[in-house]
Amino acid sequence: MVRLERPPSLNSSSSPTTPRPKAIPPAPSLGRRASRNGKDDNGVSGRVRVAVRLRPRNSEELKNDADFADYVELMPELKRLKLRKNNWDCETFQFDEILNETASQKRVYEVVAKPVVESVLEGYNGTVMAYGQTGTGKTFTLGKLGEEDAADRGIMVRAMEDILADTSSEQGSITVSYLQLYMETVQDLLAPEKDNLTIAEDPRTGDVSLPGATSVEVRDPKSFLELLEAGEANRIAANTKMNTESSRSHALLLVNVKKSVRVKQDKDMTVPNENGASLQISKAHNVPTIRKSKLLIVDLAGSERVDKSGSEGHLLEEAKFINLSLTALGKCINALAENSPHVPIRDSKLTRLLRDSFGGSARTSLIITIGPSPQHRAETMSTILFGQRAMKVENMVKLREEFDYKSLCRKLEADLDRLIAENERQNKVVLDAEEQLQRGMEEAELTVQQAERRAKTLLEESTAERVRLQKENMERIRRLQQECSQLEKELTENAHKLRSEKEVAVLEKEMHLQTERDRKHKEMEEWMQEHQLKLAEVAGKFEAERVQREAVERRLQELEDGTKARSKLELEDQEHLHQLSRKMEEESRLREEAVKELGEWKSQRSAVNIKESAGLKEEVKFLRQEVEEQLKQRELLEREVKDLKQHLLQLSYDADETKKFLEREPSKISLGSESPMSLSKPHHMRETINGQRATIAKLFEQVGLHRILSLLESEDIDVRVHAVKVVANLAAEESNQEKIVESGGIGSLLRLLDSSEDETIRRVAAGAVANLAMTETNQELIMAQNGIKLLSRTANEADDPQTLRMVAGAIANLCGNEKLQRKLREDGGIKALLGMARLRHPDVLAQIARGVANFAKCESRAAAQGHKREKSLLIEDGALPWVVTNAGNEVSPVRRHIELALCHLAQHEVNTADLIAAGALWELVRISKECSREDIRVLARKTITASPTFQAELRRGQTSQVYQ
């Protein structure tokens, strides 16, 4: 990840603006590598390492520079370089490495590039770059293929040989891209048809990439040499006075290395996955890790002076772009070396591509090449100073390591399959136990049901027998009572007759009756004893049934205990078995209560159940009919919503196509004077717009405006977006505006503007309100429903230029109503209008200027009619400085509306003192002379001439001769 913040420099050398020192102490070496677990987010500070290589003299230099042969003196053992000014004065510089003219290509590679290559193989990004004057050996140092002599192989070939030797095809992969930066365009040397690649930057990490570049996987050195030969054949070079094969572009070789390693964890760890969620990894897993690093080898085109290289024509243009990109690189190096708060990284595509190499997270080595000739002393000194500044740049080196989620996912999936199989086996055991338990429960329930039936039968028989015996007993008692009554009656009738003569007969009769009563009483006692015996028999039978039921319950309890024991072994099904146990306990309790209450409600149960069943059937039938009716209505509504969505999607597509066309041809778009959504449409767009209007009209007729407005409150945000677009298109036609207002469209749009946070909805809703705010009646309705407060709040919250343009257009239309001006100012409309100027977008500024002009025009008319005597509300709200500042705006609509606003403000004499203090008088003078519109020039002259205060100020400023 590229770091935009630079750590404090570890080099204490002075900045380039101070006099160059004679000797510079060596800077600290690269820091230790970051932690290998990939958790070090801060990285390790590492300085850019710089080496100097001196090119051997050629035959021409041996001849011309014989008198001054020791112009450059190298001291490799001290890592110093002396550059002689003359025979008695010289300058000394210190670098990380000094390579003289006899240094071999192998020595150069081991000193400059090999540490970087080793870092790349360990998972760090690395950069090797060559910088110097044209013709000093940069391409030879980096890109020499060594076809004739293997010892001449350059850094590119040797680095790829080491990378291929260290990386196997099983552990990782290596891909290569070869590019050139030619005249500020990135071109693919492996695919010449890709002549303008786009540079992409990750907004989260800042990493720079080239998505369209050709990336070739390399497996052996031979295929890599073939790629280099193909790329070099496409690279642009030319013959100049300084170099017969001068590179006219910057070459960039990008090598991406991907290696898979395994890290043993000492404890459980939590890592973020690719979607940002947390993933718990056990310490038992060997976490698969991927290290993705890249090696960037940059062969910069040589800096050159036109008077020395003799470049002209197209070569001169190439030299300009080369020098401009190198200058931009130098500026970035200077800013990084001086810890400047701003690094101009975007001044050139070269600096954007090298963003990670200087001040980023890569380990960087720079080799600067110089020539031995004193004729090029200025170029040599510039190269050396570039290297000195580069040594001060600090990078934060980071390990590029991430977890191999795919391998880990495959392993976890295998573990999951194993656990699923084990779970299925355990589930089968549980299911078998459940089936056995279910069979036992069914048998127990059958036994209980049989016992209940037998108990019910016995109870019914006992009840019937008891009733029969009670009836017989009552009947006998009744007969005895009747007989007693009859006998007593007979005794009473014959008492007087028999009292004297038949006392003995009466006594005998009484004795006979007493004997009969004793006999009847004895029979009654015998019957009662027999009945008690039968009841005891029935009770015994019922007790036996109870004992049998308790045995069944004990069996159920045993089955429940066995189930609980099994459930302890199967943790995943424990809750289900507990539920079964609780249900059985509840059933047992209910059975006991049922047995106790059996005598109380058995006789009533049948009748009640019949009544309740009949009632429930009727209720279920009624509910089914209601549900079926609701389902039919729902299906009908869903079909209608589906049709509406299709219409809305088509309208949205048409509107988006129109918007794309307008964005492609912005020069053909002009902002209307009355509404921000009124655009002047080219002739070839009329058919598209007419088609959209026809579609909208058809939808309007088929669906109805009320249904479309109801969709503005839908929970689906896409439906709301499409619906508000349809309403906005309808509002653009004057014939539809009255219908929209009558249907409550203004309130629906304002509520949508108040409640929605979607930028598209707010933009389109504000545009629709702007179209509806073109008539005085609609303006009053909008103000009455707190429309200006909602528009002001939207203006303060939104940052999208198109949304602000729509809001500003709506407020500008409301500014044209003289009756609403004070209410508009109280609700914050003027301040909200001026606040939108913060974006400085020309379309937004044009709407702001139109609103100010409308407001000033209404105030001027009110002052002329004698309705207004106080100072302008615009001046009180602080609009005058903005008006004066933008009176000379380059955008024509903005400037025209501002000029009109100044003229209208100046027509009211009470405003003249503030206008003079703000400098508006001189803008009026300018308008009267330079305005492109004749009517505004005439209005400005009349305003200045009619104001005595302005005339006095002009005479005081000695400018009145202009109007004589």
The predicted structure's pLDDT at residue 676: 43
pLDDT score of 98 more than 90: yes
Strand partners, 81: 74, 93
pLDDT score of 11 more than 50: no
pLDDT score of 387 more than 90: yes
Whole-Å CA distances, 164 to 112, 521, 818, 829: 19, 126, 81, 69
Sort 796 into a burial class: Cβ within 10 Å, 0-12 / 13-18 / 19+: middle
The predicted structure's pLDDT at residue 31: 33
Q: Give the residue, 81 or 587, on which the prediction is more confident.
A: 81
Q: Give the residue, 333 or 577, on which the prediction is more confident.
A: 333
* Of 763, 766, 850, the residue nearest 813 (C-alpha): 850
CA-atom Rg of the chain in angstroms: 51
Give the mean pLDDT of 911-940.
Answer: 87
Number of H helices, E strands in the chain: 33, 21
Q: How far apart are CA 683 and CA 661, in angstroms?
A: 13
Instruction: Please calculate the CA angle 226-229-234 and round it to the nearest 5 degrees.
Output: 130
The predicted structure's pLDDT at residue 188: 92
* Of 798, 886, 795, 817, the residue nearest 845 (C-alpha): 886
Dihedral over alpha carbons 605, 606, 609, 611 (to 10 degrees): -120
Give the mean pLDDT of 613-635.
Answer: 67
pLDDT score of 158 more than 70: yes
Q: How far apart are CA 696 and CA 749, in angstroms?
A: 18
Q: Give the residue, 248 or 182, on which the prediction is more confident.
A: 182
Least confident of 407-411, 724-728, 751-755: 407-411
The predicted structure's pLDDT at residue 50: 96
Residue 19 pLDDT level (bands cut at 50, 70, 90): very low
pLDDT score of 317 more than 70: yes
Instruction: Classify the C-alpha dihedral 870-873-874-875 as positive or negative.
Output: positive
Q: Which amino acid is at 807?
A: V
Give the mean pLDDT of 936-956.
Answer: 87
Q: Give the residue, 929 or 41, on which the prediction is more confident.
A: 929
Strand partners, 363: 126
Q: How far apart are CA 964 and CA 956, in angstroms?
A: 15
The predicted structure's pLDDT at residue 66: 63
pLDDT tens-digit map of 410-424: 777 888 888 898 899
The predicted structure's pLDDT at residue 963: 43
Residue reference for tokens 């100072």 = 871
Strand partners, 679: 671
Give the mean pLDDT of 619-635.
Answer: 69
Token pair listed for 853? 């002009």
Are 789 and 829 spatial neighbours (Cβ–Cβ below 8 Å)? Answer: no
DSSP per residue, 48-66 = PEEEEEEPPP-HHHHHHTG
pLDDT tens-digit map of 821-848: 888 888 888 888 889 888 889 999 999 9
> Which range among 163-167, 613-617, 627-631 has the greatest average pLDDT?
163-167
The predicted structure's pLDDT at residue 318: 85
The predicted structure's pLDDT at residue 302: 80
pLDDT tens-digit map of 489-544: 877 776 666 565 556 555 666 677 777 777 877 877 777 777 677 767 766 766 77
Are 330 and 15 spatial neighbours (Cβ–Cβ below 8 Å)? Answer: no
Sort 224 into a burial class: Cβ within 10 Å, 0-12 / 13-18 / 19+: buried
Beta strands in 388-441 (DSSP E): 394-397, 401-403
Give the mean pLDDT of 336-348.
Answer: 89
Q: How far apart are CA 177 and CA 365, in angstroms?
A: 20
Are 803 and 759 spatial neighbours (Cβ–Cβ below 8 Å)? Answer: yes
Residue 638 pLDDT level (bands cut at 50, 70, 90): low
The predicted structure's pLDDT at residue 390: 92
Least confident of 149-153, 204-208, 376-380, 502-506: 502-506
- Annotated binding-site members for ATP: 132-139
The predicted structure's pLDDT at residue 383: 93
> Which range among 72-76, 202-206, 287-291, 407-411 has the greatest average pLDDT?
72-76
Q: Directed axis angle between helix 801-815 and helix 776-784, to 10°?
A: 110
Kindly report the length of the chain.
Answer: 964
Are 778 and 731 spatial neighbours (Cβ–Cβ below 8 Å)? Answer: no
Give the mean pLDDT of 932-951.
Answer: 87
Give phi and psi for 840, each to the nearest 5. 55, 30
pLDDT score of 652 more than 70: no
Are 813 and 769 spatial neighbours (Cβ–Cβ below 8 Å)? Answer: no
The predicted structure's pLDDT at residue 40: 39
Kind of pairing between the strands at 250-264 and 269-272: unpaired
DSSP per residue, 583-596 = HHHHHHHHHHHHHH
Per-residue buried b or exposed e for 152-172, using 16+ beta carbons within 10 Å of the residue's own CB: ebbbbbbbbbbbbebbeeeeb
Are 801 and 839 spatial neighbours (Cβ–Cβ below 8 Å)? Answer: yes
Give the mean pLDDT of 733-752.
Answer: 84
Q: How far apart are CA 277 and CA 282, in angstroms?
A: 17
The predicted structure's pLDDT at residue 53: 95
Residue 678 pLDDT level (bands cut at 50, 70, 90): very low
pLDDT tens-digit map of 543-574: 776 777 777 667 667 666 665 655 555 565 55
The predicted structure's pLDDT at residue 281: 59
Least confident of 171-185, 586-600, 601-615: 601-615
Are 67 and 61 spatial neighbours (Cβ–Cβ below 8 Å)? Answer: no
Sort 479 into a burial class: Cβ within 10 Å, 0-12 / 13-18 / 19+: exposed
The predicted structure's pLDDT at residue 179: 94
Give the mean pLDDT of 428-434.
Answer: 90
Query: Residues with Cβ < 8 Å from 857, sequence gap 6 or more?
Result: 816, 900, 901, 904
- Annotated binding-site members: 132-139
The predicted structure's pLDDT at residue 741: 85
* Of 575, 548, 545, the residue nearest 563 (C-alpha): 575
The predicted structure's pLDDT at residue 15: 34
Least confident of 284-288, 385-389, 434-438: 284-288
Give the mean pLDDT of 97-102.
Answer: 92
Token pair listed for 251? 């070459």
Share above pLDDT 90 across residues of the chain, in percent, rounded to a whole number = 19
User: What average pLDDT is seen over the chain?
Assistant: 78
Least confident of 10-14, 456-460, 647-651, 916-920: 10-14
